[in-house]
Amino acid sequence: YGIMFDITPKNHQHILRIHSLSVHIDTTNSVTVEVYTRRGTHVGHELSPDGWVLLTRTMIKPAGFGSLTTIPNHSFQPILIDSVQGLYVTTRTPNVVSSKNQKVKGFERGYEMDVVAENGDLVMYEGSGILSQAFASFVGGAVVASANGADSIQRPQMFNGAVHYTVEDGTV
């Protein structure tokens, strides 16, 4: 259960170092949150563990509906982004909150995604709501696939959260 979305640096002369995320989780009960990343877009990879790398698996105490909860920096493996990067925020229960993108033009044209947020440093694109476990956690060093199917994907969705990053010059 969760949200997959893509981000990219706005200026391709810079790289972004992602330190953490703040996420919207609709409970105040402790939950285990996992964040995965993949080089390139998440589109077409929503149900396959291939290419996804676990950044963090940590227990957090969410602030509840309507509030963001930051994944602690010490539990988050920083990543460098110099091109399109897919992110997947998930919990074992359906508590990650995302929003339907009301513009709805991107996915009507196929898999081209609309920009849902941007600033001088990064661009965030609409994503895919995952209505079940897209794939299970790492087991014995391998990612175990799930058998949920395409009807467990809801598009277009927007990540309800924040990306915490710094900007660096250079290349990855």
- Quote the CA–CA distance of 62 and 20 in Å, as a whole number: 15
For residue 41, which of 1, 14, 82, 7 has the smallest C-alpha distance? 7
Beta bridge partners, 70, equal 22
* pTM of the complete model: 0.83
The mean pLDDT of 52-57, rounded to a whole number, is 91
- Quote the CA–CA distance of 172 and 170 in Å, as a whole number: 7
Tell me, what's the pLDDT at 143? 43
Tell me, what's the pLDDT at 142? 42
- The band of 156, judged by pLDDT with boundaries at 50, 70 and 90, is confident
